[in-house]
């Protein structure tokens, strides 16, 4: 199976604090992987490193078979653009633009094909059609989160890195979003998801916990 993401011997220190001690992780195409772990254990840091937004202190990061941590920044950005989409823990929507425009600007940046059709589809899937002309400050927390998810879906990226993507949603909405992710996953999108929600674990084909700077298989 095609290797989508691999972290080899990744360590990350902030000053003298060693957040990631020794991370080895490999995602194949079609994987749907969860990472659990206490607050402050380094889950967001791991996702940032996995997608090339932050660099490891030591170790190698490979995306689609290519080592990216030693590339010059510009080259790294070009390489990952359109291939990796983030759903951040704290969603960064453009406050001066509507829901539709947020999706449109992002899609244009990535030169997404058939953008209008794609946005309409994503608005429908995420039940945001009635909010399309709202600016973010008029949205609920859950609606904002769905726009952030929408951005990742519009990108059509084959790898989605999601940090607590349904943390602001009620249980029913979380289930709906994960059902949607699962459908995308079955059509080939690979997911790496940080979550605290143990009710969602049945969606994943592998679950790890991050504790003390290392990943371990989760044993319920």
Both tokens of residue 214? 């290392």
Could you tell me the smallest distance in angstroms from the CB atom of residue 174 to ligand ATP?
A: 17
Show Cβ contacts of residue 92 under 8 Å, excluding neighbours closer than 6 positions: 148
Per rule CB under 5 A, is residue 190 in the interface with Mg ion?
no
Per rule CB under 6 A, is residue 89 in the interface with ligand ATP?
yes
Do residues 152 and 162 touch, judged by C-beta distance below 8 A? yes
By beta-carbon proximity to ligand ATP, the closer residue of 15 and 74 is 15
Per rule CB under 6 A, is residue 209 in the interface with ligand ATP?
no
Number of residues that bind ligand ATP (CB under 6 A): 11
Helix, strand, coil percent values for the chain (each to nearest 5): 35, 30, 35
What Å distances lie between residue 13 and 48, 59, 117, 161, CA to CA? 14, 12, 44, 21
Per rule CB under 6 A, is residue 45 in the interface with ligand ATP?
yes
Work out whether the CA dihedral 52, 219, 183, 3 comes out positive or negative.
positive
Within 89-148, the residues that bind Mg ion by CB under 5 A are 89
Within 11-70, the residues that bind Mg ion by CB under 5 A are 44
Q: Applying CB under 6 A, which of residues 42, 56, 136, 213 lies at the interface with ligand ATP?
A: 42
For every residue of 35-66, DSSP letters joined together read EE--TTSSHHHHHHHHTTSS--SEEEEEETTE
* SS (HEC) of 177-215: HHHHHHHHHHCCCEEEEECCCHHHHHHCCEEEEEECCEE
Could you tell me the smallest distance in angstroms from the CB atom of residue 72 to ligand ATP?
A: 21
Residue 37: contacted member of ligand ATP, Mg ion, none (CB under 5 to 8 Å, by partner type): ligand ATP
Per rule CB under 6 A, is residue 90 in the interface with ligand ATP?
no
Residue 217: contacted member of Mg ion, ligand ATP, none (CB under 5 to 8 Å, by partner type): none
By beta-carbon proximity to ligand ATP, the closer residue of 1 and 17 is 17
Both tokens of residue 5? 């993401």
Per rule CB under 6 A, is residue 41 in the interface with ligand ATP?
yes
Residue 41: contacted member of Mg ion, ligand ATP, none (CB under 5 to 8 Å, by partner type): ligand ATP
Q: Applying CB under 6 A, which of residues 16, 39, 70, 137 lies at the interface with ligand ATP?
A: 39
Cβ density class 99-111: b for 16+ within 10 Å, e for less:
bbebbbebbeebe
* Residue ranges binding ligand ATP (CB under 6 A): 14, 19, 37, 39-45, 89
* Residue ranges binding Mg ion (CB under 5 A): 44, 89
């Amino acid at each position: 199976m095609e290797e989508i993401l691999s972290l080899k011997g990744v360590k990350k220190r902030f000053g003298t604090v060693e957040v990631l001690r020794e991370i080895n992780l490999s995602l194949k195409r079609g994987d749907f992987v969860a990472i659990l772990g206490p607050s402050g254990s380094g889950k967001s840091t791991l996702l940032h490193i996995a997608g090339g937004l932050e660099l490891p202190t030591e170790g190698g990061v490979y995306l689609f078979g290519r080592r990216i941590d030693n590339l010059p920044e510009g080259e790294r950005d070009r390489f990952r653009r359109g291939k990796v989409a983030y759903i951040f823990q704290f969603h960064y929507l453009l406050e001066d633009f509507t829901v539709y425009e947020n999706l449109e600007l992002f899609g244009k940046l990535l030169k997404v094909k058939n953008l209008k059709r794609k946005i309409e589809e994503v608005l429908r899937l995420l039940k945001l059609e009635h909010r399309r002309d709202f600016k973010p400050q008029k949205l609920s927390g859950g609606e904002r989160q769905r726009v952030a998810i929408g951005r990742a879906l519009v990108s059509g990226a084959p790898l989605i890195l999601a940090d607590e993507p349904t943390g602001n949603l009620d249980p029913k909405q979380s289930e709906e979003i994960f059902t949607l992710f699962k459908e995308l996953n079955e059509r080939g999108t690979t997911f790496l998801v940080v979550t605290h929600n143990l009710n969602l674990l049945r969606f994943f084909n592998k679950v790890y916990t991050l504790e003390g700077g290392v990943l371990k298989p989760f044993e319920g």
